[in-house]
Amino acid sequence: MLGVDLRRQGDGSGGDGTNNNVASDKLNLKERDDFMQGFKLVAIISEAASTGISLQADKRVANRRRRVHITAELPWSAEKAIQQMGRTHRSNQRSAPEYKLVVTDCAGEWRFAASVAKRLQCLGALRGDRRAASASDLSAYDLDTKMGHKALEAMYAQLAQAERGGAAATMSVLVPAAGASPALRVSYLQLAAALRHMELLGEKAEVKRFLNRLLGLPVVMQSAGMALFQQKLAEVILAAKARGQYDEGVLAVKGSSITAARPAMYLQVGHQENAQMRLHSLKVDRGLSWTMALARLREAQSVAGGSPHNGFWRMRSAWIGSGTQLIALATKVTEYSYLLHRPWGSTTRMSLSDLQAKYCLVRSEIEAEQCWTAFYTASAAHCLHGAKGRDCRLEIDMVVDTGPCVVVVQGVAVCWPARW
């Protein structure tokens, strides 16, 4: 499936020689139908045909085999990669697909794989199970995590120590063999010089920036930097597991209020004793009340070197579909970045210049409380995002437990009967 018209073959028949003389503009539809009905078991899709087509293991078609989605070439944009992977992971499917990312030995290519893995875990379909859609361990590519941040800090610290002539000055990192190239060692001093040249060493440890700028280094230095980073990441994860603090893959249901939306429903009864599977529907209120918002402001103001721009800000223009101006709480994150908290619980990062251009600071706390309470109350009754058709504050989360084996997350235990 190419997404473009095909040339007709010069065989004298006047047909296209591909699928029983099907017209070229209908060829993709014919190929898709053949795959979904099981007449063909392999579908090859180009980037041009990777939008607007469904190839999942749909319960309504004959071919319900589990899909194995092989991405032969990762696009530059994570958005495009997610669009491509969404062809085989859609609603009403019998089973989730297995994704396989084809990457080269070049360590810099982890930057693209990491972006795709991060976006996959952020998909709404993965809520409750971060690996549900991948059905394979794509978390190995997701380096932009708390553990990844700590590992990068440890790596930068050790390389800085090597520059100062410490014990790390005589150490080196082993670069694994790639293809026909033999394994070799790169000293910490060489790697430190390369990273400082890319303005990484001495800066704040940010995994995304590290992966981006790693692409600008020679291949050997890319491999050395990635090898040392992965070594530090393994050490950080091992230490976290020893302390019982490693929670990767666990998704917490968070909200200001969590209650049972309806009685638990039995999905499946096993043959063994107590082998039941129950579905619990939880009503999660993610709203931020005035009391909670004020507490966050007081906390931000108590930090040493707090910004005078911390406070309640009102939009200069009217909010969607209303004649009133939205109010938001702004708290300083970095020198030029602020986090905006809205009454229904969502947050957005915004630069100080954008904040001052779009909002104006509310000096009166009484005025801020009245406006905040109005939006907080309205968001519980209906969505405030116009005709988008989604609930901006109240959500229904699904939690499944299998008898005696129960995963307890923050705020959920209070909803479950004591016998569990």
| Residues 264-313: tens digit of each pLDDT | 777 655 444 455 667 777 788 888 899 999 999 998 888 766 788 899 99
Distance CA 252, CA 35 (A): 38
Look at 378 and 23; give whichever has higher pLDDT: 378
For residue 290, what pLDDT is reported? 93
**E runs forming strands in 202-332:** 257-269, 276-285, 311-315, 327-332
DSSP state of 301: H
For residue 311, what pLDDT is reported? 92
What is the tens place of the pLDDT at every residue in 320-375?
656 667 888 888 877 678 888 989 888 888 888 888 999 999 989 899 999 999 88
For residue 247, what pLDDT is reported? 66
pLDDT at 137 over 70: no
Average pLDDT, the chain: 75
Q: What burial class does residue 412 get, using C-beta atoms within 10 Å of its C-beta: 0-12 exposed, 13-18 middle, 19+ buried? A: buried
What is the tens place of the pLDDT at every residue in 95-125?
878 878 787 767 777 777 777 777 666 553 3
Average pLDDT over residues 133-148: 66
For residue 359, what pLDDT is reported? 92
Distance CA 355, CA 341 (A): 12
For residue 294, what pLDDT is reported? 92
Residue 243, amino acid: R
Residues in Cβ contact with 24 at an 8 Å cutoff, skipping those fewer than 6 apart? 5, 6, 8, 16
For residue 385, name the pLDDT band (cuts at 50, 70, 90).
Answer: low
pLDDT at 409 over 60: no
Counts for the chain of helices (H) and strands (E), in that order:
10, 12
Distance CA 280, CA 412 (A): 10
Q: Which two tokens stand for residue 287?
A: 């709203």
pTM check: above 0.95: no
pLDDT at 401 over 70: no
Lowest mean pLDDT among 38-42, 47-51, 414-418: 414-418
Lowest mean pLDDT among 46-50, 61-65, 114-118, 179-183: 179-183
What is the tens place of the pLDDT at every residue in 69-96?
888 877 766 667 777 777 888 878 888 7
8 Å CB contact between 12 and 4: no
Residues in Cβ contact with 257 at an 8 Å cutoff, skipping those fewer than 6 apart? 284, 285
For residue 417, what pLDDT is reported? 41
Distance CA 219, CA 188 (A): 16
Top mean pLDDT of 67-81, 172-186, 208-222 is at 208-222
Report percent pLDDT > 70 for the chain: 69
